Structure 1
Amino acid sequence: MTRSPWSPQFRRLSAGIVSLVAVFGFEGIAVSAVMPVAAADLNAISNYAVAFTSFTMASLLGMTFAGLWADHIGVKKIVTLAIFTLGIGSLIAGFAPNLLVLTIGRSVQGFALGIDLVSMYVVIGRMYPEALRPKALGMLAAAWVVPGLIGPGLAGLMVELYSWRMTFWIVPFLLILPSLILLSQLEKLQSIASLPRADSKKQVIAVLVAVASLAAFQFSTSKVGNWSPVIVAALIAASLIATGWTTRFLMPAGYLRIAVGIPAIIGMRGVISAGYFAAEVYVPLALQEIRSVSVAISGAVLTVSAVTWFGGSWLQGSHRLNLSRERILLFGSLLISVGIFLTPIAVFAPSDTTFASLAASLTCGAAAFGMGICFPTLGGMMLDKSPEADHARHSASLQMSDSFGTILITSITGAVLGLATLKHTLSSQTFVEMWLICGVSSLFALLFIPQIQGKRTYRV
């Protein structure tokens, strides 16, 4: 019996998956580390969150495309498109003369990530036996370890020697080897003959409305302090209502009311993503702006997070936690919330750069360990409870839920940052307020756990 994704019959496939995800990981970690420098260079600190939310919004389009068309045109072609668009987006961002062009490049990169996230789940669901899926999903976290170790240091070196732009320019070259390995293995993947669903047009319209409404939400929050509170509140309410409407077509029935089984699994992923990723976005900025920490050192915090995320993922995949899945998720969720709530120590308590970096590493590392436990656990449960024909669609919904939550909370915290920048009051207190918002949002994950272990199989 095959017990490892690295056994001879799966070795090249696993190497291809890990190497491709590692490139996406390098792009994410390196860009996060240098974004404060890029934003300052482009005079865009007040709109710092836009570079991240535009990326995430575009990923929604990629997820929808992959979820609807992976079976129809083939997973290999979908993965090829992800590789190509990541390379193109990186070049656009690398040559950006202003925030607008940088946002366009980041959006193209986000589209690529959306395709990759869904397609990797589909590949794992179809090319590995059920017994190996937890370990195969754990590989996705492991793939972030190497870029997590070298990404911040390499990004810092690039900034020191030349420019933040090199972190984008290098990506197309890094894609060459993973492309050769993985695409050759995907030839073995048998297609499931299917045409796009009858409601695919509605889903495309829904995701376009979702992106527009989420963009409107971010725009509205950015006007706090500039426009009338009544107008801002009306725009926020309208954008949230529109976003909620789109979940009828993009998520399983019962998503908003936390129905048992698949809807609760997908909903919980969105909640923990909202708190964690929105908090992580501002860690390098806070350390560089408030504590004058270097790019390499502030990025090293992301390295610690990548390693501890892998540790959590490995722990859940090794089956050494003799706990029910509900208790595993409870343990992971509490770690996420505690880590986020303690992150302000890095900038609020009187300290030097060394203490600030260590404090951020410990708190963010704890939260990342919790994410490493929860993410693959929820992903594995989604695959186990879904018919094979629904793997692509449910994987897309899972990733979209992550994006919905992340965009909403990042936009809210971005409004806090923008207002402080506008009033010239950016300080440690600003980041404390943002991280408290993230911590509170992450606590809502506890509401989903009792609904997770339903036995019913759901179809979208």
Structure 2
Amino acid sequence: MHDLPSSAPRQTMLVVGMVTLITAGAFESLAVATAMATIARALDGMALYSAAFALTIATSVVGMVAAGVVADRARPALPMLLGVVTFAAGLVIAAFTPSMSLLLLGRALQGLGQGAYVVALYMVVARAFAPAQRARVFAWFAAAWVVPSLVGPVVAGLVVDTIGWRWVFGAVALVAAPAAAVVLRTTWHVPGPETLPDAATTRAGVRRIGWGAAAGVGVTVVTLATERDGTAGIVVGAAGLLAALVAAHFLLPPGTLRARRGLPAVVGLRGVIAASYFATEVMLPLILQTERGLSPTRSGTILTVAAVTWALGSQLRGRNLASSLTYLRLGTTLSIVGIAASATIALPGTPLAVGWVAWALAGLGVGMVYPTLSVLVLDVAPPAEHGAATSALQVSDALGMSLAIALTGAAVHVVVNALGIGGYLLGFGLTTLLGLVALWLAGRTTLPDATTPTNATA
């Protein structure tokens, strides 16, 4: 671990810069989700609506893998710089695009850059902060999503209605640029790894980037296949899923898909908890608007409440009051209860307040789990492999989330068409089951030797 050559004020400046950069990325994600229907209509590209989201997720996987490979060979400022520049280029292209095809190029660059700079931020935490400080920094990372969750959709709507949708991208660039400058200036002298990988390890890194690209293609194919009906959609989707799983086998630590104890279980848990939580989240506004008659603004408040409790859970985790294993078990349990109870919004006559309280509980639980896994992956992995381990954590998150959203959404769509509103219960059942798998995985993040870092209080 290389401490930042500075005093507390300079470290505070670094945290402020990193949190601002994450906030800009969070706002971009939420604002674009709000404005994309308007953008697609303006560019005569409604047929490519889903692709605008799928491409961003797919290229983010490539960015994560590539940044992890570079970070294990250079100072974290290098992948940070490459990621921020790529992200900014994507924003500029999207802001000035005359066509939907160029918008897709901009969205692809945004995902590529954001995936890279997020991994770089984790490497800054690993090399510039003492282990005892990391949980608090990761808690601030989670808190960075609160303000965008509260105001992002509303601000995006106002921007679209007043000065135009292009400023959704332009405003993010204006916020991200100074934040990136602060982070780059503060971390420029943070050194890279003490020993450089040998030639064989370098070749393995190049292969990882190739598998990252394969995973991205697989995710894109699965997402787009769910928009098609009939046998063709099923065949194409199955091929994409197979490609993503094969790539995951090579991208994630050995034993991840078999839930081996230690680092593989830590990385696997991140993907499963992301799948459980976010696949549930995308169903909630849909049910509230189409089945319970709520407006988009009112239905969106259920996500806002969960974002606030997520940040609260992260802040509680940052206090280091219990062991990492305790936080994981408590957080996953709260998430399971919240997901199962939030299914009540699909039942006519059930008070909507029950769903709001339930989803707030799920947010609180996942808010404890995420920073705990971020701390554990740095504790368990050797310092020379922090880049690859951090990249694997982010890749697991992206793959788990995107595949679960696509597959659960497709299954629910079919059942709801056949059974009506009660069909949504299938979706909640699947995501609750994923939560139970996450709870089982939580117990496998520790090793038999009680002295190992995974058992220590983070």
> TM-score over 0.5 for the alignment?
yes
Q: Does residue 208 of the first structure (1) align with residue 213 of the second (2)?
A: yes
Alignment partner, residue 26 of structure 2: 25
Alignment partner, residue 363 of structure 1: 358
Q: Does residue 330 of the first structure (1) align with residue 329 of the second (2)?
A: yes
Task: Identify unmatched segments of 5+ residues in structure 2.
Answer: none
User: Letter of the aligned partner of 1:81 in structure 2?
Assistant: L
Distance 2:27 2:62 in 1: 22
Distance 1:404 1:429 in 2: 28
8 Å contact from structure 1 (residues 417, 426) kept in 2: no
Alignment partner, residue 157 of structure 2: 156
Change (3 A) 1:157 1:222: closer
Deviation at 1:342, TM superposition (A): 3.1
Alignment partner, residue 62 of structure 1: 63
Deviations 1:395-425 (A, max 9, x none): 000000111111211111342476689x7x8
Task: Identify unmatched segments of 5+ residues in structure 1.
Answer: none
Distance 2:419 2:41 in 1: 14
Deviation at 1:134, TM superposition (A): 1.0
Could you say what secondary structure the match of 2:267 adopts?
helix
Deviations 1:429-453 (A, max 9, x none): 5655444433332322122122111
Change (3 A) 1:123 1:103: same
User: Letter of the aligned partner of 1:26 in structure 2?
Assistant: F
Distance 1:186 1:448 in 2: 35
Residue 444 (structure 1) aligned to one of 422, 426, 437: 437
Distance 2:281 2:72 in 1: 34
Between 298-307 and 93-102, report the one with greater CA deviation: 93-102
Q: Does residue 198 of the first structure (1) align with residue 208 of the second (2)?
A: no
Alignment partner, residue 222 of structure 2: 217
User: Letter of the aligned partner of 2:310 in structure 1?
Assistant: W
8 Å contact from structure 2 (residues 271, 399) kept in 1: yes
Deviations 1:51-95 (A, max 9, x none): 433322111100011011124353213212222222232344445
User: Letter of the aligned partner of 2:217 in structure 1?
Assistant: A
Could you say what secondary structure the match of 1:343 adopts?
helix
Distance 2:165 2:434 in 1: 32
Could you say what secondary structure the match of 1:448 adopts?
helix
What does 1:37-436 align with in structure 2 at a 5 Å threshold? 50-94=51-95, 100-192=101-193, 194=196, 197-223=202-228, 225-227=229-231, 232=234, 235-291=236-292, 293-320=294-321, 322=322, 324-346=323-345, 348-350=347-349, 356=352, 361-416=356-411, 428=421, 432-436=425-429
Distance 1:334 1:162 in 2: 45
User: Letter of the aligned partner of 2:277 in structure 1?
Assistant: Y
8 Å contact from structure 1 (residues 17, 120) kept in 2: yes
Report % sequence identity: 31
User: Letter of the aligned partner of 1:215 in structure 2?
Assistant: T
Could you say what secondary structure the match of 2:230 adopts?
coil
Between 51-60 and 251-260, report the one with greater CA deviation: 51-60
Distance 1:360 1:40 in 2: 33
Distance 1:359 1:107 in 2: 38
8 Å contact from structure 1 (residues 46, 417) kept in 2: no
TM-score normalised over the length of structure 2: 0.85
Distance 2:114 2:342 in 1: 27
8 Å contact from structure 1 (residues 47, 414) kept in 2: no
Distance 1:149 1:296 in 2: 11
Change (3 A) 1:41 1:172: same
Change (3 A) 1:293 1:44: farther
Deviation at 1:131, TM superposition (A): 1.0
8 Å contact from structure 1 (residues 70, 119) kept in 2: yes
User: Letter of the aligned partner of 1:343 in structure 2?
Assistant: S
Between 264-273 and 33-42, report the one with greater CA deviation: 33-42
User: Letter of the aligned partner of 2:308 in structure 1?
Assistant: V
Distance 1:418 1:41 in 2: 27
Aligned residues: 443
The structure whose RCO (Cα within 8 Å, separation 6+) is larger is 1
Distance 2:26 2:156 in 1: 13
